[in-house]
Structure 1
Amino acid sequence: MQALWRVAQGIDALNEWVGRSIKWLVLLATLISAGNALVRYGLGESSNAGLEIQWYLFGALFLLGAGYTLKHNGHVRIDFIHGRLSPRAQAWLEIVGTVLFLLPFALLIIWFGWPMFVSAWLSGEMSPDAGGLLRWPVKLLIPVGFGLLALQGVAELIKNIAFLAGYGPAKERTA
């Protein structure tokens, strides 16, 4: 169990680092958005690349932050049921949800997302809009983001099993 616990801690550390690192993308997206608005309304010019990079940054925040959000109990759940359960019942519910829903869904998205990225990479796929950006970086975010989410799902699974077996501390749970 100690080895699995270290694996969970390693995954936690990875998603913590990614989550804390990408928070700067919020500032970057805001500055780009403000710059785009100033250029558009102040100078009457527009840039498809400027708009697309905003979308890419939003996608990066959402996808790369999913594992971090799961680690910090920030995902939506049925709190009116979950919050009424004992910590042990919550752990069981999270185990079942992780095994039946989270991991299969994340692995399915990775399975279908990876070939989309590879195709975009090999073909040098570009946005169809004039002045648009390469598409492979944003398509790579899909399998990477869901990979981080799946890894965090494994970490949460380990922590919930450890808690039920009496090896780990009770996870901070939302009420």
Structure 2
Amino acid sequence: MPNWMKTYVKTVEALNYRVGRFAMYLLFVIMAILIWSSVTKAVRMPAMWTLEMAQFTLVAYYLLGAPYSMQLGSNVRMDLLYSRMRPRTQALWDAFTVFALIFYLGVMLYGAVESTIYAVEVGERSPSPWRPYLWPFKTMICAAFVLMILQAFVHLFRDIAVLRGEDI
């Protein structure tokens, strides 16, 4: 494999590893937010930002953790026929299906970028009583899609290496 491919794979996997490990701790942030929500409701002074912030944090946890999950191979796969295939056939199938994934993520990224641009231009806010600006949240979604696309290309390069009988 060319050196640029090896460098790309190592760089993207190092980045997604760090982002994924950070995202793991967002679960504790969600728990803290929900505990705070329970406490404020118990003392009859509910904070109006807690539910929406917990939802935003959960989406960040899910989307930023997805490339890391893909990197570890812990994503869900329909395994009826796949497990019976030889590693080379699996790599060929994966190389074929990763193009569908990249196309899907590209469409999602396009929509996310359009939505983020709109949110910045208009100063879009949530319709809740808290009314936070939405552009920081939408920017995080765009970043997560970019990381996922980068990780999909890592998988493609690894599949190509397997098909060529090489190792990255």
TM more than 0.5: yes
TM-score scaled to structure 1, two decimals?
A: 0.90
> Is the counterpart of residue 111 in structure 1 residue 72 in structure 2?
no
Cα distance, 1:117 vs. partner?
0.7
Equivalent AA in structure 1 for residue 96 of structure 2: V
Map 1:14-93 to 2 at 5 A: 14-40=15-41, 42-93=42-93
- The 2-side partners of 1:15 and 1:71 are apart by 8
Residue matched to 1:157: 156
Gaps of 5+ in 2: none
Equivalent AA in structure 2 for residue 161 of structure 1: I
> Is the counterpart of residue 7 in structure 1 residue 33 in structure 2?
no
- The 2-side partners of 1:37 and 1:167 are apart by 55
Cα distance, 1:150 vs. partner?
0.6
- The 2-side partners of 1:161 and 1:149 are apart by 18
Asked if 2 retains the 8 angstrom alpha-carbon contact of 1:48 and 1:132, the reply is: no
Q: CA RMSD in A?
A: 1.3
Cα distance, 1:30 vs. partner?
0.6
Asked if 2 retains the 8 angstrom alpha-carbon contact of 1:15 and 1:67, the reply is: yes
| 3-state DSSP of counterpart to 2:25 | helix
- The 2-side partners of 1:108 and 1:129 are apart by 28
Cα distance, 1:48 vs. partner?
2.9
Gaps of 5+ in 1: 170-175
Identity of aligned residues (%): 26
| 3-state DSSP of counterpart to 2:70 | helix
Equivalent AA in structure 2 for residue 150 of structure 1: I
- Provide the aligned length of Structure 1 versus Structure 2: 167
- The 2-side partners of 1:78 and 1:129 are apart by 39
TM-score scaled to structure 2, two decimals?
A: 0.94
Equivalent AA in structure 2 for residue 159 of structure 1: R
Cα distance, 1:68 vs. partner?
0.7
Asked if 2 retains the 8 angstrom alpha-carbon contact of 1:59 and 1:141, the reply is: no
Cα distance, 1:46 vs. partner?
2.4
